[in-house]
């Protein structure tokens, strides 16, 4: 079967039409007719070859939702007509210690949907069915798309930082990742404090469920110390100040990557209050299913801007300029 996709032929170039044939010799694979696909900053990094792993023609797209149209001979858990989502990861060994613990995202043989293979910007995508996730009926496809990368990234990070209910949770940044983190934390019954540098985002933070919004430099003390602080930004911030806002046994977790190393954090600061600093990449398969269920049950709703697939280059330009509020989704 021929897939009509959109690809960059060289780094930093606009996407153009690109057709390729599916491979029928992969019995675990399925072919999904794409309905919607989010545009993530990682797609842009891949188009630009920022990580020096891009191969061209490069078909981006790893927040895919669509309908299963064909299944390979060994696919039992999906059938033609199922609506599924595909995220950043599309392969793991499924045998190593991490995979057997449900941490496929930590597997050394992990492969990404758009690295060395073609992603979701197209009529269809061919992908390992073991990394396709059924989308609950109540989640509209365009709404589900950003959950497959942005949503699972923040949800898994919060869970592994120990998020339950009745806690005080801080979220640094209220963009594409941050607004979803606020929703998950708030809808699961936590008090959420948002840290932002933009005064004009206060109302948006509150509309997503934040109970406190701290604009600009964080204070030295806050009334309710935080159990978790999740950083979703890519800035160098005063991490010592943030650590001082954590309650005992608190965790400072990173999904956004600041450019500099974390320096001037003295171990005594961690030791005295038994604090932890952690990072977290996407999420394992069980966690993705759990996140989708919770999103459906709790009405987690990414704030999106939709674009027809024909306007892909306009949409990418807007993502590059940081002008999308808050996740861009292409409709095919
Ligand atoms: Zn992504
Ligand atoms: Zn593995």
User: CATH number for the domain including 272?
Assistant: 3.40.50.720
Quickly state the pLDDT bin for 38 (edges 50, 70, 90).
Answer: very high
Say if residue 183 is in the same domain as residue 217.
yes
Q: Which residues surround ligand 2, an ion (CB under 5 A)?
A: 92-93, 96, 99, 107
Q: How far is the CA of 142 from the centre of ligand 2 (A)?
A: 30
Cα separation, 309 vs 315, in Å, equals 9
> Any idea which ligand is nearest the CA of 108?
2
Note whether 15 and 131 are same-domain residues. Answer: yes
Q: What is the mean pLDDT of residues 267-294?
A: 98
Which CA distances in Å does 72 have to 76, 77, 124, 128? 9, 11, 15, 9
CA 138–ligand 2 middle distance (angstroms): 32
Range list of β-strands (E), 205-311: 212-215, 226-231, 246-254, 276-279, 304-308
Do 273 and 308 fall into the same domain? no
Ligand 1 mean position, distance from CA 73 (Å)? 30
Distance 282 CA to ligand 2 centre (A): 15
Mean pLDDT of 28-57: 97
Which bound ligand lies closest to the C-alpha atom of 91?
2
Ligand nearest to the CA of 60: 1
Q: Which ligand approaches the C-alpha of residue 149 most closely?
A: 1
Last residue of a domain, one of 252, 279, 306: 279
Give 224 Cα–ligand 1 centroid separation in angstroms: 33
Residues 6+ apart with CB under 8 A from 43: 60, 61, 62, 114, 119, 316
pLDDT of 127 over the 90 cut = yes
* Number of domains the chain contains: 2
pTM over 0.95: yes
Question: How far does the centroid of ligand 1 lie from the alpha carbon of residue 189, in Å?
Answer: 27
3-class secondary-structure state, position 94: coil
CA of 202 to the centre of ligand 2 (A): 42
- Whether residues 141 and 287 share a domain: the answer is yes
Lowest-pLDDT range, 4-13, 29-38, 123-132, 216-225?
Answer: 216-225
Q: Are residues 40 and 75 in the same domain?
A: yes
> How remote is the CA of residue 119 from the centroid of ligand 2, in Å?
22
Whose tokens are 């690109």? That residue is 18
Tens-digit pLDDT profile for residues 86-107? 999 999 999 999 999 999 999 9
Q: Quick one: pLDDT at residue 263?
A: 85
Measure 270 CA to ligand 1 centroid, in angstroms: 31
110 and 167 in a single domain? The answer is no
Distance (Å) of CA 277 to CA 154, 249, 270: 15, 11, 8
Q: Are residues 58 and 80 in the same domain?
A: yes
144 lies in the same domain as 8:
yes
Domain that holds residue 73: 2-149+283-331
């Amino acid at each position: 079967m021929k897939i009509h996709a959109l690809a960059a032929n060289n780094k930093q170039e606009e996407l153009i039409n690109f057709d390729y044939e599916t491979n029928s010799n992969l019995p675990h694979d399925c072919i999904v007719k794409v309905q919607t696909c989010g545009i993530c900053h990682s797609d842009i990094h891949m188009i630009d070859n920022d990580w020096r792993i891009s191969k061209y023609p490069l078909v981006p797209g790893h927040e895919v939702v669509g309908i299963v149209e064909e299944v390979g001979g060994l696919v039992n858990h999906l059938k033609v007509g199922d609506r599924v989502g595909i995220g950043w990861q599309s392969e793991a060994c499924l045998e190593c210690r991490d995979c057997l613990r449900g941490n496929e995202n930590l597997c050394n043989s992990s492969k990404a949907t758009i690295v060395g293979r073609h992603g979701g910007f197209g009529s269809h995508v061919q992908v390992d069915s073991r990394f396709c996730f059924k989308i609950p009926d109540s989640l509209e496809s365009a709404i589900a798309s950003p959950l497959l990368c942005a949503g699972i990234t923040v949800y898994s990070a919060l869970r592994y930082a120990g998020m339950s209910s009745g806690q005080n949770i801080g979220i640094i940044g209220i963009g594409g990742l941050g607004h979803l983190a606020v929703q998950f934390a708030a809808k699961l019954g936590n008090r959420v404090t948002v840290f932002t540098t933009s005064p004009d985002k206060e109302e948006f933070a509150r509309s997503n469920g934040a109970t406190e919004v701290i604009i600009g430099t964080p204070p030295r003390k806050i009334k309710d110390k935080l159990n978790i602080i999740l950083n979703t930004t890519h800035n160098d911030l005063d991490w010592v100040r943030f650590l001082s806002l954590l309650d005992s046994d608190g965790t400072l977790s990173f999904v956004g990557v600041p450019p500099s190393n974390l320096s001037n954090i003295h171990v005594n600061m961690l030791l005295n209050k038994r604090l932890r600093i952690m990072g977290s990449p996407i999420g394992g398969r069980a966690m993705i299913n759990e996140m989708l269920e919770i999103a459906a049950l709790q009405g987690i709703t990414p704030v999106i801007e939709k674009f027809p697939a024909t306007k892909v280059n306009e949409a990418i330009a807007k993502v590059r300029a940081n002008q999308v509020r808050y996740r861009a989704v292409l409709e095919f």
